[in-house]
Amino acid sequence: MVVMTALISNLAAIFSADGLLARNIPDYRPRTQQLEMAQTIAQAIENQEILVAEAGTGTGKTFAYLAPALLSGGKVILSTGTKTLQDQLFQRDIPTMRAVLKIPVTVALLKGRANYICHYHLERTLNSDRIHLANRTEVKYLNLIERYANTSSHGDKSGLESVPEQAAVWQHVTSTRENCLGSECPHFRQCFVMEARKRALSADVVVVNHHLFFADVMLRDGGVSELLPACNTVIFDEAHQLPEVASLFFGESVSTGQIVTLIRDSRTEALLVAQEFTPLFDALAAVEKATLDVRLTFAEKHTRLSATVATQHPGFSAARQTLQEKLEQLVTLLETQAVRSQELQNCWSRAQVILNKIRQWHEHTQSSMVINWIETYSQSLQFNTTPLSIAETFSKQLNTAARAWIFTSATLSVKKDFSHYNQIMGLADAQTVSWDSPFDFPQQALLYVPTQLPDPNTPHYTENIVQAALPVIKANGGRAFILCTSLSGMQTIHQLLQDTFEQEKLDYPLLLQGETTRSALLKQFRQLGNAVLVGSQSFWEGVDVRGRALSLVIIDRLPFASPDDPVLSARIEKYKQEGRNAFMEYQLPHAIINLKQGAGRLIRDEHDKGVLMICDSRLITKSYGKRIWQSLPPMKRTRDLEEVKQFLATI
């Protein structure tokens, strides 16, 4: 207790008006919420508690958890939502706090293996004339990667900005869990992945992302799972993303893309060591055709269907059965050739895993504990098995050893009620606390719900949205985000706005998600100063545009997940079977948390002002609407367009 009292006293000195942060960071503002959050986290770390902490925009939650974490003296795993946030923490936030506190903690960055160049696969790609790169640009990228691999101390592909992250060549020069040779690799001693893991094992603070945390812990792949036993504290930033990420990794999935990669790797190695064994090449060609046939049974580029619906689709069951049979033949032939090389033995093992997952997907279709479903993409199809609930599985992780677990985000509660989040995550014994944003929302923001909008399910609803939004966009001189709940809605709104801007000769640059990378779009948006950006899920969170460039956020409708989604549909049915109200207990809280994320794009600092326009009359007409807007920051509310124009005129 003496240690805790001293630490809390130190935190007060760090976050005070004349404290360490104020003296070392330009424009630092002391915030009561930030200090209280830091003190609460310090106490949870000391007492090895589970803490769920919501902190409104502007609280400064990153420094609020970093200070007690760095001062705690124990090993800390810090998991955040994306690789971009990982890099920001590792390269900017932690070095800043470490310098301010003047403490010699060691810090390591750990990413999934696909982020690190693999010496073995790079060498094979350079030396093989059988691996065909798409064009000269990819060949140029390969040469850049070779030079980078020879000079880099970490091999992290994010350090090579001249090669785009999505470039096709990366799949030829990185490893996967399936095709890594492990200790049998001739480059094992120089392996960038192994070096990153060694640094993580010896560091005081390790920065990971949620996908790596769950993938690694569930697969026991030798990264995070090795770190956990020695860890005193786990902190999840952007913790609202955890339910979806955990569902992904507590289930099983296998895609036709994985099969295509297996075929490529098997064929490449067979050409080197088993060129005369033609039955293997015939089997690979048969699996390749069967894989394509499975995908082509669905015309849609992107759809999600339950296994029950998918198996009724013309041709799918037969195509899946054929794929399984061709994979069985391939497994048999790969086994006969596995002795020829470590790589072929590896391909044999991978083929067995893929075959077993496809078999299990079919056999478990009628299980009451999991949801079997498929998802199609433009080039591939994925077989998924998702647990109905992740609570029990995740709560077991919490009880593996005594340590502090901290979950923090700006959006975890519904009107400060955390029961929805805690129930999904299995956090029955968690302490919960919420701090409001220090921003003056009643003065800085206005919530506008237009009148005379039809129900969102009526025809021509999207056209009505554009008509309602146009006068507000004009009054604001552009400077707007339009956040859509679907990609199809996004495309339609963009096209309608494009036509309208041309007809009325409105000189507002119109940007669309997908035209270039998110970071490039945001940079363009900030530089233009009067642009209108139409985006979908990518722009609902993790986007920070301060100042006049963004003073209007328009949301096309309340973000209720589609009831046709196979996972949601199965979970709703489970609630009904238990005699519970699925809408009030699951769908509504989920929509509110998503809406809070979108609304959070508007006010990013104490000088921002703007209008949040929600184009959904259900916010007013439905009994649950009050619960929604009461969960948002305390903005003034209006349905009067003239009042909106007057407010925008003051910005």
Q: Which of 162-171, 204-213, 359-368 has the lowest mean pLDDT?
A: 359-368
- Inter-residue contact 512 to 490 (CB < 8 Å): yes
Q: How far apart are CA 211 and CA 246, in angstroms?
A: 8
Helix (H, G, I), strand (E, B) or coil at 305: strand
Beta bridge partners of residue 384, listed in sequence order: 253, 373
- Looking at the domain covering 250-387, what would its CATH class be? mainly alpha
Is residue 220 predicted with pLDDT exceeding 80? no
Evaluate the CA torsion angle 612, 616, 621, 625 in order and state its sign: negative
Q: Which two tokens stand for residue 436?
A: 């409001």
Q: What is the mean pLDDT of the chain?
A: 92
Instruction: Give me the pLDDT at residue 1, please.
Output: 43
Q: What pLDDT band is residue 198 in, cutting at 50, 70 and 90?
A: very high
Encoded tokens for 69 = 């974490």
The single-letter code of the amino acid at 200 is A
Nearest-angstrom CA–CA distance, 388 and 524: 42
User: What would the pLDDT profile of 288-307 be if each residue is shown by its tens digit?
Assistant: 999 999 999 998 888 999 99
Say which DSSP state 211 is in: H
| pLDDT score of 2 | 41
Neighbours of 6 (CB within 10 A): 11
pTM: 0.90
CATH superfamily, domain at 2-111+198-241+397-435 = P-loop containing nucleotide triphosphate hydrolases (3.40.50.300)
pLDDT at 218: 73
Q: Tell me, what's the pLDDT at 588? A: 96
Parallel, antiparallel, or unpaired: how do β-strands 532-535 and 480-483 relate? parallel
Query: Can you give the pLDDT at residue 409?
Result: 97
Can you tell me the distance from the alpha carbon of 104 to that of 110, in angstroms, rounded to the nearest whole number? 19
* Predicted confidence (pLDDT) at residue 280 exceeds the cutoff of 90: yes
Q: What is the mean pLDDT of residues 511-529?
A: 91
2-111+198-241+397-435 and 441-649, same CATH topology: yes
Mean pLDDT of 626-635: 95
For residue 65, give the amino acid letter: Y
Contacts of 166 (CB under 8 A, 6+ apart): none
Q: What is the pLDDT of residues 90-99, one digit of tens each?
A: 999 999 999 9
The pLDDT tens digits for 104-152 are 999 999 998 999 999 999 998 888 765 566 678 888 999 999 999 999 9
Compute the C-alpha angle 600/606/607, nearest 5°: 105
Instruction: Specify the higher pLDDT residue, 386 or 10.
Output: 386
Q: Where are the domains of the chain?
A: 2-111+198-241+397-435, 250-387, 441-649
Residue 628: is its pLDDT beyond 90? yes
Q: Is the pLDDT of residue 8 over 80?
A: no
The yes-or-no verdict on residue 179 having pLDDT over 80 is yes
Please say if the pLDDT value at position 417 is more than 70: yes
Q: What is the mean pLDDT of residues 72-78?
A: 93
| pLDDT score recorded for residue 5 | 55
Region 247-272 average pLDDT: 92
Reference 293, options 266, 317, 272, 264; nearest CA is 317
Residue-wise pLDDT for 344-387, tens only, equals 999 999 999 999 999 999 987 666 788 999 999 989 999 999 99
Encoding tokens for residue 386?
Answer: 């998702």
- Hey, what are 173's tokens? 């020069």
Residue 408 has pLDDT above 50, yes or no: yes
Question: Which residues contact residue 642 at a Cβ distance below 8 angstroms, ignoring those fewer than 6 apart?
Answer: none
Cα dihedral 192, 198, 201, 204 sign: negative
Task: Specify the 3-state DSSP secondary structure of 74.
Answer: coil
Q: Judge: domain 441-649, CATH 3.40.1380.20.
A: no
Runs of H (alpha helix) within 297-315: 307-312
First to last CA, the chain: 50
| The predicted structure's pLDDT at residue 329 | 97
Calpha distance 566→559 (Å, rounded): 17
Tell me the average pLDDT across 608-624: 96
